[in-house]
Amino acid sequence: MFENPGFIFWPVGTGDSTTIVVDEETIFQLDIRHLGKSEDDEDDHAAIVDKLEESLPQKDGNPYLAAFALTHPDKDHVQGFAELLDRVEIGELWFTPRVFREHEDDFCDDAVAFREEAHRRVTETIKAGGDPGAGNRVRLIGYDELLAEEHYTGFPEQFFTTPGNLVTMLDGEDRAGKFQAFIHGPFKDDSVGDRNDTSLAMQVVLGDDASIGGVLLFGDLKYPTIRKIFDVTKEHGNDQYLSWQVLLAPHHCSKSVMYQDEDGKTVLKQDILDDFTDTQVDNGYIVSSSEKVPSSDSDGANPPHAKAKARYEEIAKGGFICTQEDGEAGEPLIFSAGEDGDIAYALDANSDGENSLAAAVKAARGSDDPPSQKVGFGEF
């Protein structure tokens, strides 16, 4: 039984859909790949929008998602957003603005829908001159010069976060002690390169001690940017924000994380594997959000890659697991977080037949007593 707040990795094929349960009213969704309901009883992919609509807490009679963060607007990270927005109220959006300026020529329909909603919220926030309220909130993640651009002129700085900083605010409430996200990227210079390099990267901890290890989320980043994240974070004495108990394998278990082409040869970058090993806390798990990893790689094949899985299996003391291979068919991989933030993997948190997210939220509620902490708004 899933008894605590935690992290839920959904089986959505090769794509990302991660749900973070902070408490009974606070569900944070990172990326989405909605494949819809299948008429095939053997289909083991989760229709994530359906799952969320069925299981989210209610606010004013509607399913309510406290926040949605988009790492980058590739289709396998944003598919179904328009439908989600239509069926669920979303308190707050997190996004990196520059990606929508540099890479807008080939967006899928859902990426366009996200951009339009994000821009609407930016406008509402500027009009309000402060908190625009649930359903209009937005957090921009990037660099200071973004606020000098015409579209963002007058945007309140309290809703703007630069990499290298910690966020404890979520949907208008300071949740310090229960939730924190340290922003690792994207870096300023990566915004005009490959869209994958613009990925929002962060460590999320359901507690207040980053050194115990949280979940590392790097989107679709490759070796050079991840290398830079480790170097910059250590340079600034923020090593604790690299600690992990769960690592979501970047880019769906792509070998580009630890293999690079140099002088016509494919070279293993052992340094990044050593860093992953050194920052692992206790028996860490590495999760591949992907279809089943093949037994071997073919030339030019997209991830997941067998070579990457082999390297991760050498690192992860708890194990390497895949959303489409492990756990029950169609059910997510769930990690519960204790009061101190320690993370534990539960193979089956759904023993009583409840929807897994519903079971997670129900367990997170604990008791039926109303919350004692007043909901307010302040800076992080």
Is residue 380 domain-resident? no
pTM of the complete model beyond 0.75: yes
What is the distance of C-alpha 65 from the center of its chain? 14
The residues facing 67 across adjacent strands are 28, 92
Q: What is the mean pLDDT of the chain?
A: 88
Q: Please give the average per-residue pLDDT across 76-86, as a whole number.
A: 97
Expressed as residue numbers, the domain containing 240 is 6-365
Is residue 373 domain-resident? no
Is residue 177 domain-resident? yes
Q: What is the pLDDT of residue 365?
A: 47
The continuous run of DSSP H or E covering 62 comes out as strand 62-69
Q: How confident is the model at residue 353 (pLDDT cuts 50, 70, 90)?
A: very low
Q: Measured between alpha carbons, how far is 380 from 364 in angstroms, rounded to an integer?
A: 24
For residue 375, pLDDT over 50 is answered with no
Q: Measured between alpha carbons, how far is 118 from 57 in angstroms, rounded to an integer?
A: 23
Q: Is 318 exposed, middle or buried (0-12, 13-18, 19+ CB in 10 A)?
A: middle
Is residue 101 domain-resident? yes
CA-nearest of 258, 179, 189 to 218 is: 258
Alpha helices in 14-63 (DSSP H): 48-55
Q: Which residues fall within 8 angstroms of residue 36, CB to CB, at 6 or more apart? A: 47, 80
Residue whose structure tokens are 């059910």: 331
Q: What is the pLDDT of residue 125?
A: 97
Q: What is the pLDDT of residue 357?
A: 54
Q: Measured between alpha carbons, how far is 340 from 209 in angstroms, rounded to an integer?
A: 8
**DSSP-derived 3-state class of residue 234:** helix
Is residue 321 domain-resident? yes
Q: What is the pLDDT of residue 358?
A: 54
Is residue 379 domain-resident? no
Q: Measured between alpha carbons, how far is 360 from 21 in angstroms, rounded to an integer?
A: 7
| pLDDT tens digit sequence for 10-68 | 999 999 999 999 998 999 999 999 987 654 556 789 999 999 999 999 999 999 999 99
Residue whose structure tokens are 């229960």: 178
Q: What is the length of the chain?
A: 380
Is residue 376 domain-resident? no
Total number of domains constituting the chain: 1
| pLDDT tens digit sequence for 243-290 | 999 999 999 999 999 999 998 899 999 999 999 999 999 999 999 999
Least confident of 2-16, 247-261, 358-372: 358-372
Is residue 371 domain-resident? no
* CATH code for position 284: 3.60.15.10
